[in-house]
Structure formats: C-alpha cells, structure tokens
Amino acid sequence: MNLLFVADPLESFKIYKDTTFAMMREAQARGHQISACEPKDIMWQRGACVTAAVRNITLTGDPVHWFSAAQHQPGDRCQVLKYFDAVVMRKDPPFDSEFFYATHLLEQAEREGARVFNKPRALRDHPEKLAILEWPQFIGPTLVTREAQDIRRFHAEHQDIILKPLDGMGGTGIFRVRQDGLNLGAIIETLNQDGAQTVMVQKFLPAISEGDKRILVIGGQPVPYCLARIPQGGEVRGNLAVGGKGVAQPLSARDRAIAEAIGSVLAERGLLLMGLDVIGDSLTEINVTSPTCFQEIAEQTGFDVAAMFVTALEAAVAQPR
C-alpha cells in the first residue's frame, strides 16, 4: 500500500514513544510506502482534486536522523490524496478551527475517492470530552454547562469535583476542588470566561490513584492490555504529559465490557482507532484524534499494538468502497 500520514511536523516526533512513528515503522516493515504531510499542506482548488505537498519518506533506523525524504521541502511534490491507498489522519489536538477545516478538506478528498482513517466526519461528530454523553451507563456523575450556579450546585452535591475545559489535552486546564470549595469561584471564572466557555465537571474518582487507564480499540476490538497512567508527586492528573507513570496491565472484565460496547458502535461510524479513558469503573473520555500509548504497551507486555493497527488498516482498505 501507499500510505499518507497527516501529522505534526516529523522533526517534532519523539520516536521512542510516538505512536504515529510506531505505525510507520510497522507499515514499512510490511513493505508499504510511506508519505507524510501536515494539515497546512492540504489544498483544494475548483476544477481539481484535493492535493497535499508531501514528503515520501523512508525510516532509517537511526534514533536521531530517523527518516530520509525524497524531497528537501514538502512543497517540492504535490500529490492527489485519492491516489493513496489510505490517508491516516494523525494530527494531535487541540481540535481547533484549523483541525476542523482539515476534516472538511479530507471529507472532500473522500468524495473524490480517498480512503481516510479515522473518517473525517466521525472526528467532527465525536468531540473527545463530550462523546461520553452517549453512554451514561458507563460514566460517573457528570455536568456540562456554562453556568457558574450549575457548577456550584454540582459541587454542593458531590463535594469533591474535577473541572476541565472541553478543548484541553494532555491534562491541561484540569482543576480539583475539594469539600472546602477553596478557589471554586476563581476556577469557574478561569474556565468558563464569564459564561462564554462551556465546562465539563465530574465527580472526583478516588480510583485515579490506581491510574487513568487508556484502553485502545482497533477495528472495533479492544487491545488486551491498557496503560494505567498513575499520578505522581501529589498530582491529581495521570497524563503522561504532566509526569504520570504509565503501567501496562490486562483489561478487567469491566474495561472489556466498556470497550466492546463502545468500540462496536464507533467502528461502524468510521473510527478505526480510538482510545477510551477509564478511571476505576467509569469512562471519562473517548479519544479519537490521535490516540497514543502503542509503544508503552508493547514494551511492557510484548503485545504489538502497531501490528494490530496495520493489520486492521489493511483489512479496512481491502473492503469494497
């Protein structure tokens, strides 16, 4: 296959842990050709198809100079997206206006015949914080609102709460307010911007001490191991980006039940890969833009997550359009 990865700049990859790199490495090992571009490189003009200024790359095996490219600059070669066997959208959050526009360009490419994973419409339809609302049976007490009074009432009821912005990533902007309500007003003002921004509020789950579990689902099937991201040094957040410790462990019966129920539905909607975040027995987020943790799970368990993904990608491309 000829694969195009739409991602962040290749020069920014930390290949010792990067999931997109793991996908590329497995794809190349199977003989597939790899190209890469950034969302900013995608273009459409009337009378023509969606194109992208791409780099055709080869992985070198060198940990520093980890790829070589046939082009010195991405603009040296424009290619039509529909001529790739698959376009893999792996741009990291935030899901801002530019990400949104990129999904529309990729959807136009789909109309022209491109195969895009995850499906652009599915990326738009499943915002990572709000997608859990479809499965209330799996989540803990949760509130979504702009109103400060709603948040105060929720705190009065549950005493110990977590507040987070809907567009955050990597644990940014997350606050915990305990029973004493210390700084609740200031936190509300910071997050909801005097009612201009919607906030998610959830009851604090003590099971976070055992880790915020990232459960990967590929082609509707859960990876048999999750990565429990355990907070360190008094932190309430387990995200690896803020210093959480990642510990791979087998899925519990509850983890698997959540993953199978949600995965079967979302795979049908065009989400080949998703990452479910579960604390204790409660689902907290559904990550669809660029789920990670392939390498951490593989290194600790020996289970090759990238191989499972590329196998699923090959099967998806082989399906009739």
Instruction: Tell me the per-residue pLDDT of 124-136, one tens digit each, with 9 for 90 and over.
Output: 999 999 999 999 9
Residue from 192, 212, 229, 239 carrying the catalytic annotation: 229
Comparing C-alpha atoms, which of 235, 241, 176 is closest to residue 209?
235
Q: Is 92 an active-site residue?
A: no
**Per the residue annotation, which of 18, 26, 277, 296 is the catalytic one?**
277
Q: Report whether pLDDT(51) > 60.
A: yes
Question: Tokens 């060198």 — which residue?
Answer: 62
User: Which pLDDT score is estimated for 7?
Assistant: 97
Q: Has residue 88 got a pLDDT over 90?
A: yes
- pLDDT at residue 10 tops 70: yes
Q: Which of 214, 239, 255, 296 is catalytic?
A: 214
Indicate if 254 belongs to the active site: no
**Any idea where the domains of the chain sit in the sequence?**
2-125, 141-204, 207-304
In the chain, how long is the greatest CA-to-CA distance?
63
Q: Is 239 a catalytic residue?
A: no
User: Residue 111 catalytic?
Assistant: no
Task: Place 168 in a pLDDT band, splitting at 50, 70 and 90.
Answer: confident
Of the residues 118, 192, 239, 287, which is catalytic? 287
pLDDT, one tens digit per residue, over 184-210 is 999 999 999 888 899 999 999 999 999
Provide mean pLDDT across the span 278-306.
97
Q: Answer yes or no: 119 catalytic.
A: no
Who's near 171: CB < 8 A, 6+ residues apart? 237, 238, 239, 241, 242, 244
**Directed axis angle between helix 305-318 and helix 294-301, to 10°?**
120
Fold classified for 141-204:
Dna Ligase; domain 1 (3.30.1490)
**Cβ-count burial of 233 within 10 angstroms (0-12 exposed, 13-18 middle, 19+ buried)?**
exposed
Backbone angles phi, psi at 100, to 5 degrees: -60, -45
pLDDT at 194: 87
Residue pointed to by tokens 């490419």: 109
Q: Is-catalytic flag, 164?
A: yes
Query: What's the pLDDT at 12?
Result: 95
Q: Are 214 and 277 in contact (CB under 8 A)?
A: yes
Please give the class, per CATH, of domain 2-125: alpha beta
pLDDT value at position 72?
64
Active site residue 194: no
Q: What is the DSSP string of 184-203?
A: HHHHHHHHHTTTTS-EEEEE
Question: What percentage of residues in the chain have a pLDDT greater than 90?
Answer: 87
CA 189 to chain centre: 28
The single residue of 25, 91, 213, 237 carrying the catalytic annotation is 237
| Catalytic residue (choose from 55, 164, 203, 213) | 164
The model's confidence at residue 277, banded by pLDDT at 50, 70 and 90, is very high
Say how far apart CA 16 and CA 110 lie, in whole Å: 32
User: Residue 103 half-sphere exposure, CB side, CA atoms within 13 Å?
Assistant: 21
What superfamily does domain 207-304 belong to in CATH? ATP-grasp fold, B domain (3.30.470.20)
Spatial separation of the C-alpha atoms in residues 266 and 217, rounded to whole Å: 10
In the residue annotation, 129 being an active-site residue is answered as: yes
Catalytic residue (one of 129, 203, 239, 255): 129
